Amino acid sequence: MQPYSESFKTGSIIFAEGDSPTGAYLIESGRIEISTRQFGEHRVLDELGPGMLLGEMAVLDDSPRTATARAVTDCALTPIDADQFAERLAAADPIVRALLMSQLTRYRSALATLTGGTPGTENVALGRHGNADAFGKIRLESELRAALERKELEVRLQPIEEIVSGRIAGYEALVRWQHPERGAVSPAEFIRLAEETSLILPVGDYVLERVCDMLLEFKQRGDKRLPFIAVNMSARQLDDPKMVERILALLHSRGLPADRLKLEVTESLVLNSAHIAEFLARCHAAGMHVALDDFGTGYSNLGPLLTLSFDQIKLDGSFVKALDTSRGVAVVGVIVAMARALDCDLIAEGVETHEQREVLHKLGCRYAQGWLVGKPIPLQEVLNPV
Ligand code: C2E
Ligand code: CA
Ligand code: CA
């Protein structure tokens, strides 16, 4: 099918300098000259041909045309509505958008100088395209890189209790960033940022190393039973084919057994990863356990449980909150039964009250984690309780 297009005869003007932008074009056939007036004289800036975009600049920042487009030969152009760009631009990564807008501003400024006009001093994009947010993010990312190098990230441990015995069976490692100006930045904020780029890999390695060092400290204290420590894993870490080998090397170099390190992967990540089955198989072959984190949230889907054999399921805190209703108790009861049938340990997250722990106990849930048991604290406080 021929694409819908508009025809322009040789010599006709497609748009002129100063026109307000209505849309852009994709050149299907023919050639187009882009020109401007420089110190009052006609000056050709470029000649465009099939497959190229025409007039997209003015559409991007909604400014008047800064050049004239004239058909050098007969042309066929597919019009692109300004909204088609606007929607995609609004949906783009804010940093990519900021880069694009910054380049556009610079180009317009250079063009104004070239043609004898006044280079615009205002940043076309700032504010309107959310650049302030994007630059804030870039700044935070640079600071996070520096914090990582200076080892300013702290790994805290939150206890996980075996409900029947009241024994602390293990801990979840939760990372913290003590920012020099902003104070404690939540991992919910900076982990997501790190996950947008490969920065999550060195952050993840840092956490894994710290956790292995902590296990070694527990071991050196000579406790009868070494507790486990669970580490949260991100998508990019799972996609790294050498990840399991790297973790095993960290454990072996400290003489630690593989089954004391547990890996947590979230439900949403499981649904989107093509490598999860392979990752699980490698972990199991090495004796490491893997937990399905945030079970029951957002992406709720029982599909993965049909084929993937997790060792633990972590019930999201929202289900624990619902335990004061009969519906909540009914749903959690079913999840406890399901976990048992699958030979999985169930860990309830976000347990804040005695009542919640009591109901979980009655329902047969094995582990509890939450403020009732303990908040995430530094290793030294775990080893030397006050
Ligand atoms: P998560 O894995 O679901 O971790 C549990 C979160 O619930 C933690 O928040 C914990 O402090 C909080 N929490 C624990 N008990 C309670 C409670 O009783 N009540 C309430 N309201 N909250 C409780 P935190 O430490 O802010 O971590 C947030 C998320 O950041 C984690 O959620 C995890 O997804 C991510 N995260 C933290 N550390 C790491 C890490 O080292 N690597 C990766 N990839 N992600 C991490
Ligand atoms: Ca977790
Ligand atoms: Ca969780």
Q: Convert the pLDDT of each residue in 40-88 to its tens digit.
A: 889 899 999 999 999 988 888 888 998 999 999 999 999 888 888 888 8
Which atom of ligand 1 lies closest to the CA of 369?
15
Section 332-356 average pLDDT: 96
pLDDT at 123: 46
Kindly state if the Cβ of 294 falls inside 6 Å of ligand 1.
Answer: yes
Q: Name the residue among 26, 27, 94, 101 with its Cα closest to residue 63.
A: 101
144 belongs to a structural domain: no
Same domain, 233 and 108: no
Between CA 349 and CA 347 the distance in angstroms is 6
* pLDDT greater than 60 at residue 157: yes
Same domain, 253 and 335: yes
- Which span out of 17-21, 55-59, 334-338 was modeled with the highest average pLDDT? 334-338
Give the domain range for residue 278.
154-383
Same domain, 115 and 165: no
Q: If you search the block for the tokens 């020099």, which residue do you land on?
A: 180
Same domain, 207 and 317: yes
Kindly state if the Cβ of 293 falls inside 6 Å of ligand 1.
Answer: yes
pLDDT at 131: 65
Please list, in sequence order, all residues whose beta carbon lies within 8 angstroms of the beta carbon of residue 26, skipping any fewer than 6 positions away: 51, 52, 53, 54, 77, 78, 80
Same domain, 80 and 201: no
Kindly state if the Cβ of 189 falls inside 6 Å of ligand 1.
Answer: no
Please list, in sequence order, all residues whose beta carbon lies within 8 angstroms of the beta carbon of residue 336, skipping any fewer than 6 positions away: 346, 363, 364, 365
Record the tokens describing residue 215, joined without a space: 């296990």
53 belongs to a structural domain: yes
Taking CA atoms only, the protein residue closest to ligand 1 atom 25 is 174
Section 124-152 average pLDDT: 75
Q: Tens digits of per-residue pLDDT, 295-333?
A: 888 666 677 788 889 999 999 999 999 999 999 999 999
Q: What is the CA 276 to chain-centroid distance, rounded?
A: 18
Same domain, 196 and 116: no
* pLDDT greater than 80 at residue 135: no
CB crowding 178-190: b at 16 or more within 10 Å, else e: eeeeeeebebeeb
Taking CA atoms only, the protein residue closest to ligand 1 atom 7 is 350
Identify any residues that bridge with 167 across adjacent strands, giving them in sequence order.
162
Same domain, 134 and 163: no
Section 94-107 average pLDDT: 86
Same domain, 104 and 54: yes
Between CA 77 and CA 28 the distance in angstroms is 5
Same domain, 239 and 311: yes
Domain CATH for 67: 2.60.120.10
* Residue to mutate, 153, 192, 232, 315, ligand 1, most ligand atoms under 8 Å from C-beta: 232
Same domain, 36 and 93: yes
CB 178 within 8 A of CB 154: yes
Taking CA atoms only, the protein residue closest to ligand 1 atom 19 is 350
Section 323-352 average pLDDT: 96
Section 112-132 average pLDDT: 59
Same domain, 361 and 238: yes
